[in-house]
Amino acid sequence: MPLLLVSVRNATEARQALDAGIDILDVKEPSLGSLGAAPDEVLAEIGEVAETCPHRLFTAALGELTDLSESPHLPAIPTGFGLLKVGLSGCGSLPDWPARWAQVRQDIEALARKRFDWAGVAYVDESEADAPSVDDVLAAAISAKCRYLLLDTWSKSAGRLTDFFSDQALADLGRQCRGAGLHLAVAGRLRLGDLSDTLLAAADVVAVRSAVCRNQQREGAIDPEAIQKWRSVLRVSTADRHEV
């Protein structure tokens, strides 16, 4: 069964999501884009929550590489976090983006005095995002010994994951990731109806924000009942698939 990741924007939402039974807690600021970074003070507050949940994976979105590589301020990541991710919009026309990405990872780890796991982020709407192709991000993630590959949408208004990526492409990518020792996480305005047999077989993690917010508005408050419904549907869908 794929694990359920829910993105939260503050410590209150973090506690609600954990109580609702999520597997992975992600921190982002949804008003700042697909991988909008939460303020340092929010990361610190949720880092304290993470210290009380040592068996849960806490992840954080850190914004886009083009901003981080030119910024004098890098986020201070609490030790309770285990996995970090940086977006690659604007990098499609930058031949040296893998080196910039490596430098940002190194600098963030040096600041935190800790090694983190990382996710390579592939935007399926790569043309609109001016992002590297999924294949290029996969290759870079393998080279960087990342733990995950995240398949996501950069624009939250131009389409959903399923508008850009077919079931066959998803199945192929799942096999490539597993062959390389990567876990595949899928996101991009997913809905319960998107949980096809192919997606469930290919993905190790299903990541949501808007689908578990009130009125399905990603900047709204999360809805614990919606989270519980996702958990139930994931369990039932996976059980049905194994019985076929």
User: Which among 43, 40, 3 is positioned nearest to 21, based on CA atoms?
Assistant: 3
Task: Look up residue 122 and give its DSSP letter.
Answer: E
pLDDT at 162: 93
pLDDT tens, position by position, 221-232? 999 999 999 999
**Domain CATH number, residue 17:** 3.20.20.380
Domain count, the chain: 1
Name residue 25's beta-bridge partners.
6, 58
What are 132-171's pLDDT values in tens digits? 999 999 999 999 999 999 999 999 887 899 999 999 999 9
Q: What is the structure's pLDDT at 158?
A: 78
Given a cut of 50, is residue 111 above it in pLDDT? yes
Which of the four pLDDT bands, split at 50, 70 and 90, describes residue 1? confident
pLDDT above 90 coverage of the chain, percent: 91
| Domain coverage including residue 97 | 3-243
Q: Are 150 and 187 in contact (CB under 8 A)?
A: yes
pTM of the complete model: 0.94
C-alpha 109/C-alpha 111 separation (Å) is 5
- 58 φ, ψ to 5°? -110, 130
Mean confidence (pLDDT) of the chain: 94
pLDDT beyond 90 at 57:
yes
Question: Do residues 18 and 25 lie in contact, with contact meaning Cβ atoms separated by under 8 Å?
Answer: yes
Q: What pLDDT, on a 0 to 100 scale, did the predictor assign at position 236?
A: 78
Q: How is residue 89 annotated by DSSP?
A: T
* pLDDT exceeds 80 at position 100: yes
Q: Cβ distance 156 to 129 under 8 Å?
A: no
Query: Does residue 122 have a pLDDT over 90?
Result: yes
